[in-house]
Every structure is written in structure tokens, then in C-alpha cells.
Amino acid sequence: MDLVIFEENKPFVLTGLENGDFDYIESASEVFEADFFRFIKAKGIIDELSRNYPNPRKKEDVPLWLYVASNLSMRLHGSNAFNAFPMVVRCGGMLNAFGPEMGRKVIHPDTGDLTVVCEGFNEKNHYDRESPCDQDFLRKIAKDTEADALMNWLSGDVVSIFQDIDAFDKEGIFIGDASYLFVPDNPNYEGSAKLLFDENNHPISQKKYKKLTDKQKIRCQWKRCYKMVTLLHTNRALEFFLVVAVQVISGRGHESPILYELVKKFVDTSGKGVMKRLILDRGFLDGESISTCKDVHGIDILIPIRRNMDIYKDAAALFRLPEVQWIECKKRFLQSARSDRPKPDFISKREKKRRETLKGVNQKKPMPKPEDIIIKKEAAVIGEFRTWSSCTVPLNIVANREIYADGHENIWLLADTRECHDPSQTREEYHLRTAIEERYRQFKCFCDLTKFTSRSFSMVVNQVVFIFLAYNLLQIYLLHQQRKELNNRTMPGIRQQLMPSTNHLIVYWQNYYCLFEPFEFVEIIATLNEEARKKIAEKCRRIRHELKDAIKNPRAP
């Protein structure tokens, strides 16, 4: 069975109903996921993803698009174990998106439960199929797909697909970072490493461990982990977040060369000019790689400088000179879209009372110490630094000074390969880097990114890649639906916001479909002429009998 996609065309379906013609009718309560799959099909995304997927099979008993769509559906539902696939099919929107040819809901003859019957794609099953494909098919394809090929697929073919649908912002802001993926202390996790971490989950060497106090040593733990290096694309308003490249390595691997290799692959795939700005953490300080990004790839790097570097000492001395101009950095507030709406009097009174209560509670709290209160933030810039021997491009050094109530100052420096006119804007731009840290938190806490159900490295990578891919496509879908405000929410939060929807009846006719509200559909049928109503009644009776006998050899309950 080939993939059959239905296009929405309400006038055409209504014309068929007026003559008593239709192919199939079903109810739909999961409109969100069905619309999501229709969107990525209409854009040609699902076809391109399956066409370029590194298929480990030479023979295709089941079409590869079904594997990709099923894997995405599981990640949208927050399910990472493949044995959850039958449940996802029953409660998800795949069947509604791909039409009755994919599967139909029927009543089990023995138990009376509502179940799903699917025609399938081959004749190898002895029992009636309850899902379009077997969960073992998904699991085996995922396990047999080479990990490196899958990661290259995300950073290569998927990036090309995103570029074709204009998913990249013209400003070209990207953020690079790395994070640890902690797993149970089981050496069977292929490619994992066991490291010593401090209380902040930062790896610590044995030399540094010996210098710690006994109290600090107690808080250190040995943990088994992988390391994940990623490239994230966003815009200045943080309206979307696309993970365009990922590399999963051993926890002992160094992230810096991996990241710059991902940058090179991205530029080779998308061409120069798509990635224009790359914001990094100090763990990626590499003068030679920064120079390559600027001279070869045309990418401007913004990165903090370590205090033990010679360029930091040289710049810090110059910033102490009196002729340096410091600009005060004032926090910019974004006005809420709801702030101008009039509020009822009782809500205004309740908010006023709550503010008074909180004011009284805050007065009882001890005041922070002067050395912890920042009273002023300033920034300054000095350009044309060439004292970093391994970096062959001139750098603009932006100094950020924070003045505390007790008079002491804290200064930290940023290196920028782009010419800087407003240091406060550069400081604000660097703080976009926290967006990737927030994505890591969301993936780990709300998408079970590190809850791996298999110890095979290929399965670990498969889970990481498809969670990112599902998240990327969901972000693009929300932008298309003009719901960009949801992109900052967690995956469960997005589902909760999109799930509440009215029930619909889907009517199919000659590869077209349309959605009707129940009462709307009843009204349409009631106003048809007698001949059309009889024709519809007869066809409904025939389909109902066919569904009753659809399960010919069901599994034992």
C-alpha cells in the first residue's frame, strides 16, 4: 500500500454530499497532531525526510515514511520506548492525518472495546493488525541505523529541507554549547564514560579534587555519562529554537573541535551567509578555529575570555585608563500584549491586595548584603586587538562592569570578531546564549531526553535525534499557525495548549476531506434532498457492516 494523502477541500466534499456521495466518515478529537502531520506532508517534509534517511535495509517491506512519521508521533507524545507505539496510534492523530487507508477504529468482537484495525503493508501477520506497523519494525530500524549516519542526516539533509522551506532567520543567529547526558551506572551503555563531578555537575580532575575541603569532597559524585554538542538557531526575539546539528560522544571527549566541525558541516550544507552570528561559551576558546569561522565561513564569533589569558590581562589594563567611555546598561522590558486590556474592578482590587501582602512579607525578610546588590551595570569597547597569537583576525573586546552597593566591581570580558559600536547591545546579545541552556533543561526534564530504554549507542542517538527533530518541526508548525508565543513553552505545555479542541467529523471523498462540527453535519444531512439522504443512509449501513466484520482474526483478549 502506497501513502495516500487527502487534501482539505470543503466545497468539493459538500458537492459530493449534495449528491449523496462520500467515501468514509470518522470522528476526530486529536486535531492538533493530525494537522501537524498534514502540514509537514503538504510542505513535502515527510517525503524528503524518508527519501534521505540512512535506511539500513535494502528491502522495503514497510515504507520508510511510516517509520519516520511513527517515530515523530512517539516523540510528540513524550513516549520514547517503542512498545508504546500501539497506544500512540490509538490516542494520536496519525490515522486522521493519513486517512482510512492507514487504519480504522472498530469494536473488538470479543471484548467490545474500541480498537484499531489496519491493512498493513505486507502479508506476514497471522492476526489482524492493530497498528500500521509492528513496534519491533520501528525498534529494529532504529537500532540498525548507524549513529554517525543519523547525526549526519540531521545536520545535513534535514538542514537542506529546512532551508528549502525558509526556516532560517535572515539575521543568522546561532548558539553552540555542550551538555552531559547522565545514564545509570551500567558499563553496558556503549561509548559512555564514568567521570567525577562536583556539586554543580561540572567534571573535576583528581588534581582539583585533592585541593577541595572535606565538605566539598562529600558532595562530589562519580557519574556515567555521554556528552552532547549542539548548534541551536534562534532570532533576537527568541520566537523559535531549531536544533540544526548534534553530536553525541563519550563524556571524556572535548566539545570544542566537535562544535567547529559541526559549524563547517552546516556551512558546507547551507552555504555561506545563512549562519552569520555564532555565540559560544568560553569552553570553545580556540584562536585558530575562531579565525577560520571569520575568514573562511564569514561567521562572526562572540565569546567570553578567560581571566588567565594574556589578552584578558592586556585588555583589562587598557580599560582602567580614564579616557575609556563606559555606557550604562539599562534593562529593556517587553510590554505584554495583554497589558492594555481593561481589567474588571474585582481583579484590580485583588491584585492590589496581593501586592500589599507581598510587600509586607518582603519587609520581614532580611535585606541582602551590600556586597550582593548590583546598583549599576556598564559596558565599554576597545577594538583592533591582535595580542592573541593563535587568532589571526582583529578582535573587539567588550568589558562588562557590575558595580555593587559596597563599592566593589566585577568585570568580565567578551571577544567579538564583529565591529562593535554599542557595547551594551553586544552584552545583551551574549545573554541570548542562555536560550540553549533553557532548551537543555526542557529536553531533559520534560522530554525524557536522558531516559534511555536501551544501552545500544545507536538507540541512544536515535532518541536524541528524533526528539530534536520532532521539536524542530513542531516549532516550524507553530510559526506557520502564527502561534509563536507557544514556542517558549515545554513540549507537554504546548500539547496541553493545543489539545483542547472541539470534536469533528471528517468526511472523505475522492482524496479530499473536510472537517464538520457534529451539529453542522447533522444540519447539512437534514437539508439534503430525499434521494441524497437515502443514498447516504445506504452507504453508511454498508460501511457499518463492513466495520463490524473488519476484524476477521483478532488477537485473544
pTM of the model: 0.81
Confidence of residue 470 (pLDDT cuts 50, 70, 90): very high
Each residue's pLDDT tens digit, 149-198? 999 999 999 999 999 999 999 999 999 999 999 999 999 999 999 999 99
Each residue's pLDDT tens digit, 290-318? 999 999 999 999 999 999 999 999 999 99
Question: What pLDDT, on a 0 to 100 scale, did the predictor assign at position 1?
Answer: 43
Q: What's the mean pLDDT in 228-240? A: 94
Q: Among the residues of 130-229, which ranges form H helices? A: 135-144, 147-155, 157-164, 206-211, 214-218
Each residue's pLDDT tens digit, 119-141? 767 666 666 666 777 888 899 99
| Residue 257 predicted with pLDDT over 90 | yes
Q: Are 279 and 174 in contact (CB under 8 A)?
A: yes
| Residue 550 predicted with pLDDT over 60 | no
Confidence of residue 147 (pLDDT cuts 50, 70, 90): very high
With H, G, I as helix, E, B as strand and everything else as coil, classify residue 75: helix
* Cα 270 to Cα 252: distance, rounded to the nearest angstrom: 30
* Cα 508 to Cα 4: distance, rounded to the nearest angstrom: 12
User: Kind and range of the H or E element at 246?
Assistant: strand 242-250
Average pLDDT, the chain: 85
Question: What pLDDT, on a 0 to 100 scale, did the predictor assign at position 50?
Answer: 92
| Residue 235 predicted with pLDDT over 90 | yes
Each residue's pLDDT tens digit, 47-92? 999 999 999 988 877 888 889 988 998 888 888 888 888 777 776 6
Q: What is the torsional sign of CA 500, 503, 507, 508?
A: positive
Under 8 Å CB-to-CB from 203, ≥6 apart: which residues? Answer: 180, 195, 196, 197, 251
Question: What pLDDT, on a 0 to 100 scale, did the predictor assign at position 318?
Answer: 92
Ranges of each domain in the chain? 7-145+501-548, 149-275+438-465+474-493
Q: What's the mean pLDDT in 472-493? A: 87
Each residue's pLDDT tens digit, 325-370? 998 887 654 444 444 556 787 788 888 888 778 777 666 667 777 7
